[in-house]
Structure 1
Amino acid sequence: MGRDLSALFDPVSVAVVGASDDPAKYGHAIAAQAVRADGRRPVHLVNRRGGTVLGRATAPTLSAIGEPVDLAVVCVPAAGFEAAVDEALECGARAIVAITAGFAETGAAGRARQQAVAERVRAAGAVMVGPNCLGIADNSTDLHLASDTFAPGGIALLSQSGNLALELQLRFAPHGLGFSRFVSLGNQADVTLVDLLADCARHDGTRAVAVYAEDFADGRAFAEAAASAGKPVVLLTAGRGAASARSAQSHTGALTTSADVVTAACRDAGVELVATPRELTVVLAALHGARRTAGRRVAVLTDGGGHGVLAADAVEAAGLAVPELGAPARERLREVLWEQSAVANPVDLAGMGEQDPGSYAATVAELLAADEIDAVLMTGYFGGYAASEGGLGGGGTALADGEREAARLIAARQRTVAKPLVVQSMYPHSPSCRALAAAGIPVFDATEDAARALAASVDGVAVPGVVPLPRPAAPLDETGYMGIRAALEAAGLAFPAAREIHDESELLAAAAEFPGPYVLKALHLLHKSDAGGVALGLAGRDELLAAFREMRARLGATAHSVEAMADVSGGIELIVGVQRDPRFGPVAMVGLGGVLAESLRDVAFTLAPVTAERALRLLRGLRTAALLDGVRGRPAVDVGAAAEAVETITAFAAAHPEIAELEVNPLLVGPHGALALDARAVRD
């Protein structure tokens, strides 16, 4: 159900502690906004000197108000913060918005003060946003407790940046977007991003949630909340390009970056991940149109060849397709266009729009009706005729009127179909384009934005969701090679026969237990192959003994493993690894493995544990996936067995939080099953 945040977003009464007439103080800005909704609920201003603020009488303390306070905004200096919070709780406050800074962001001492305050708030049954935040707003309840006014709409913005909210307000306006709520996250000492996301998911006035976060704290809980939100969640985050803070000790660690982890978590949770405020706006504009498609086939309509080619490239770069139209669809287009028009896709009016602006509407209608098309992108000059009554070619008022009528017809047609339509125009602010935008058709000035908007409208790929973590298993006593190998084998992962040996007599005894060829491994090395600690294809006892003597003399290992040599002919070597991320927990990696794992970097990531079904999709999505089905006479391998092995490995790693990195490399997948040839683990 989540935490009850009703007092935070719809309080019975509000008090601003630290209200001021000094425009340089935040208490002035908050107070000025708070009194805007004085008719909705009582708003009390508190200033320790008393007197008036904004022409209103103030109380010197919260206690002096003489009645309970439901929500208190605390804007006092850090030295008086704890006392202000304690008084608010004594006066019955169920919610606190802590503007005051100087806590966890300053170091250990500040973090300890912050934690102590948060514990007192929770003990009182209250909630607190902040400290070190910039306020909150809820347009659906006329709650204005931030320094700026936010245009109403259906977007809830949960942000670690106040200035970003101001930028988004400017970017939203041309698309008719506004805010249902704004929350500055601050230090999240009590109320967290996850709490707020869950509450916004339940909020009737919120249609989509936009998040700007630099630090997720509990990233896995964020992914779980987003996956279950039932509303679009769009994430803008910083620092994704930095490598993991942990010094990597495996191929998995070397290949996994923060960007990979965040991208995998967003994909699993169905979150739209964006890189800039502009892209965030584009995606929200597309989602605001509320039209979704399960397909990726896009028709491009243009009035100029250059715009059409560039748009087609942008659509394909966004992961969509621009298929050639079939003969029936081309024939229907021929009936509404003139001879020189191109109708294969992109569809080019080739100047007909200058003669008859209605051709835009007629062509859009035909493309939206085509069964072989899932979405339409219109690009080019549309909007220019009405932008200037002179228009292209001097058509004047007639062309402008015709274009406005075409816009009306396009909007009317779009209302009757569920397929997405987006527009790129050289004149996005023209009357014609504004009419389209008012009808819920996203309009952009950049081709790449229109293509990105269409990509955001595609929901044909099933969201895998976030698999719950298993209950922790008993910690492993031994995570060396033989120990982790035995533990994985007990979990159901197949390995070749192996024996740990320490001297020549034990080596010969092991060789007698199973036939050659043999593999010899030195056990004190994490990356055995790189250091020359692996000898393969040793035909018999003599070769095995010679390799042992040479390897022991060269590397000084006290223990070795003698193993049966697997038949690698017809097999594919994969890598399966799990790294424990401090924010998102265990993250799995699967890809092409062996000694070329880091060189080829053909890998995919997802939150662990991984189901076999999910593993199968990841394997099929690799660049080299064609190898799995056999090429140039090689047999197809048992991809199902590989997927089951991935499930076993990732479930094991997820159940052992003491393991920081676990890797099986290579996992040999052949026509008749999967066999783990090496494993390594790094303790946390």
Structure 2
Amino acid sequence: MGTLTELFAPDRIAVIGATEREGSIGRAVTTNLIADFKGTVVPVNPNYDEVLGLPCVEDIAAANADMAVVVVPPKIALQAVEEAGKAGVKNVVVITAGFGETGGDGASREQRLRKIAETYDLNVVGPNSLGIMSTTTGMNATFGPDNALSGGMSFMSQSGAFITAVLDWANDEDVGFNDVVSLGNKAVLDETDFVEHWGDDEDTDVVIGYLEGISDGRAFIDAARKATKETPIVLVKSGRTDAGAQAASSHTGTLAGSEQAYEVGLDQAGVLRAESVQGLFDAAQMLANQPLPDDKEIAIITNAGGPGVMSTDAVGDSRLSMASFTQETLDAFSEQLPAEGNIYNPVDIVGDADIDRFADALDIALGDENVGMALVLSCPTAVLDYQELAEATVRLREKHKKPVAACFMGGERVTAAADILGEAGIPNYFDPSRAIGALDSLAAYSDIRTRKYDEPTEFDVDRDAAREILSSVNSRDDNRLGVEAMGLLDAYGIPTPQGEIVDDPDAARSIASEIDGPVVMKIVSPDILHKSDIGGVKVGVETADVEDAYEDLITRARNYQPDADILGVQVQEMIDLDSGVETIVGMNRDPQFGPLMMFGLGGIFVEVLEDTTFRVAPVTEREATEMTEEIKTAPLLRGARGRDPVDIDGVVETIQRLSQLVTDFPAILEFDINPLVATPDGTGVKAVDIRLTVDPDQL
């Protein structure tokens, strides 16, 4: 695929399937293009000499176009795309449906479309797409009923119907767009391609979108991180309540559904996620037009006590905080406001405030070095002119170069004032919580702009040894591995207790005699996942008792499951759990984002407390450190209630090393180290038990 610049700025657009038939998509697309497109529209249809007054050509080869819109039936759409490729057309929008969304023959048809695009190096939007728009060139290559107004937002959506609804609303609200794309089935071009393009597009101030899924999560993260250095991205991602991932055998798989992967992946990408369509546009309009704040402290100036309290509550629910004014500011408020007013935040200038009092108060607040942004909150009164207040708000925003949101509450009397504010890029909201939410998005993006994205540490590991251990599943009926695969951790430098797996009592005693102190003994079987539930674990076994313990463990396993595959018994150094903290480090491979790393409190409490945090791998040292800080039980790691702090550095390094292992081997579908015992600072960590699932076909 080449650059997308010509996709949005073609000189000649061929409509393959253009027609004059009333009610047809071919007619609608041609009509929309004729309306405003600055270039040339060429109808392609062997059955017409002209369409809607334009000369019609028989085939795409005669059109001499640099973009084609395909609206013919699905059975001939592939031929049309291939002929476009042969004719040298590099950009194709396939509006035709009847592809992957229908399954069966449609899915096969979509696969052939991908192959054609690859053969001719085509940029293909769709299929099953509403089309695309660019207000810069006046191009409306859709069959929607409305063209977009001009603006700085570029908008992509997997739902074409959502686009038509949004444009109808946006035209009524005077909200404009730069580019609009109906992604359709995303057979070739997907959300990542458009994020990359719009991130470099000077005409795009903010990227917004509605997505039902992301094709390649890792590629999207990389593209979005680059784009958001200059261009904010706000998305609505549907499917929050979908159970997502199928039931998994590991703790990590149970706790990490697909929604968790999207939440973490979008955050790592630097993308702001909106809860609703309203939230999407509240954030987008603020981000497209306002300066970024230097900090998160907000001043609220209001003539109404009740709404002032409401907005203060909204601040408490956000990442913002109420600004603490300097003494100079408090003195200025004392001089300007009546005695019954409130000089502290929120500043109540009282219901009889006129435009001068409102403007003076806002000027004082924005001039305070502790104030990063402001909300102008007003209810209508007989002594206040909303249009004058709007003009003052615009003037003072420009004077102080700080973001300002307006909440002029009311109905018809607000309309003219809202127009004044809107022309200056200051959104007006009836609900104070919406205004605070929009400013919160601005503060969040300000943080994203300053993020540092480090490269993951590349540890010296033994990949050959790891591959050999993973390949052992090829000779088994089960694709799960347990403690018999502890060598994986050794190959990747993750500390484990001293010990081995043995298959007879004498060997068990021999290994135990080499270990200082009592040992732990565990039955080793891929068919018995919860060993402690059947008495398959013995703790504190003295060397003299090892042989008897071995026989007892084997007997218990046979009685519990006679047909179980018993690999032996693990004899292992006993770790003092009382002096450390049991944690879990795990991974579940998400279909879109790949390996999703988990960290939390381990042992028997992992599924009870569900005190876990996640990152998409590969995980950097900074991200691994953040994971150890985010769980609610983090104080246990750092020495709560008189306990010694554990070796955090060892935990952080283990997270990174496991991240490298699961990144190196896509065949690993799930992996748990549970528990990873973190002992007092300086003494390190030990991975006591593991469980993983392997896809043999990926080895």
CA distance in 2, matches of 1:172, 1:530: 61
State the aligned residue count.
663
Shift of 1:55: 3.7
CA distance in 2, matches of 1:323, 1:90: 63
CA distance in 1, matches of 2:327, 2:172: 39
CA distance in 2, matches of 1:95, 1:322: 51
Matches within 5 A, 1:311-350: 311-322=311-322, 324-325=324-325, 327-350=327-350
Structure 1: state its 5+ residue gaps.
Answer: 385-391
Report if the CA contact (8 A) 1:325-1:343 is conserved: no
CA distance in 2, matches of 1:463, 1:437: 30
Report the residue type matching 1:631 in the other structure.
Answer: A
- Aligned with 1:584 (options 593, 597, 611): 593
Matches within 5 A, 1:29-178: 29-37=28-36, 40-63=38-61, 66-147=62-143, 148-172=146-170, 177-178=175-176
CA RMSD after TM alignment = 2.6
CA distance in 1, matches of 2:354, 2:607: 58
Report the residue type matching 1:419 in the other structure.
Answer: K
SS of the aligned residue for 1:520 comes to strand
Matched, 1:271 2:271: yes
Shift of 1:514: 0.5
Report if the CA contact (8 A) 2:148-2:171 is conserved: no
The 3 A distance-change label for structure 1 pair 621 and 322 is farther
- Aligned with 1:443 (options 396, 416, 428): 428
Aligned twin of 1:387 = none
Report if the CA contact (8 A) 2:151-2:177 is conserved: yes
The 3 A distance-change label for structure 1 pair 249 and 463 is farther
Report the residue type matching 2:642 in the other structure.
Answer: G
CA distance in 1, matches of 2:401, 2:577: 52
Report if the CA contact (8 A) 1:522-1:528 is conserved: no
Report if the CA contact (8 A) 2:264-2:616 is conserved: yes
CA distance in 1, matches of 2:454, 2:589: 15
CA distance in 2, matches of 1:366, 1:172: 35
Q: Percent identity?
A: 30
Report the residue type matching 2:147 in the other structure.
Answer: T
Shift of 1:622: 1.9
1:455-480 CA-partner distances (Å, limit 9, x unpaired): 21112365464867989955332473
The 3 A distance-change label for structure 1 pair 638 and 558 is closer
- Aligned with 2:393 (options 410, 425, 445): 410
SS of the aligned residue for 1:457 comes to helix
Report if the CA contact (8 A) 2:456-2:620 is conserved: no
More displaced stretch, 289-298 vs 181-190: 289-298
Shift of 1:542: 4.6
Report if the CA contact (8 A) 2:326-2:368 is conserved: no
Report if the CA contact (8 A) 1:268-1:463 is conserved: no
Shift of 1:58: 2.9
- Aligned with 1:608 (options 608, 617, 634): 617
The 3 A distance-change label for structure 1 pair 667 and 631 is same
The 3 A distance-change label for structure 1 pair 186 and 304 is same
1:285-305 CA-partner distances (Å, limit 9, x unpaired): 121123223533223333223
1:229-248 CA-partner distances (Å, limit 9, x unpaired): 13111121212332343431
Aligned twin of 1:551 = 553
Shift of 1:659: 0.2
Aligned twin of 2:686 = 675
1:224-271 CA-partner distances (Å, limit 9, x unpaired): 111111311112121233234343111100000111101111111101
Matches within 5 A, 1:277-288: 277-288=277-288
The 3 A distance-change label for structure 1 pair 15 and 335 is same
Aligned twin of 2:476 = none
CA distance in 1, matches of 2:393, 2:172: 19
Shift of 1:596: 0.7
- TM-score normalized with structure 2 length: 0.89
CA distance in 2, matches of 1:260, 1:61: 49
Report if the CA contact (8 A) 1:473-1:656 is conserved: no
CA distance in 1, matches of 2:77, 2:418: 51
Shift of 1:324: 4.9
Shift of 1:588: 0.9
Structure 2: state its 5+ residue gaps.
Answer: 473-479, 559-565
Aligned twin of 1:623 = 632
CA distance in 2, matches of 1:297, 1:571: 40
Aligned twin of 2:237 = 237
Report if the CA contact (8 A) 2:303-2:349 is conserved: yes
SS of the aligned residue for 1:228 comes to helix
The 3 A distance-change label for structure 1 pair 425 and 358 is same
CA distance in 2, matches of 1:170, 1:321: 36
CA distance in 2, matches of 1:60, 1:19: 11
The 3 A distance-change label for structure 1 pair 469 and 117 is farther
Aligned twin of 1:183 = 181
- TM-score normalized with structure 1 length: 0.91
CA distance in 2, matches of 1:611, 1:646: 9
The 3 A distance-change label for structure 1 pair 527 and 612 is farther
The 3 A distance-change label for structure 1 pair 610 and 85 is closer
SS of the aligned residue for 2:399 comes to coil
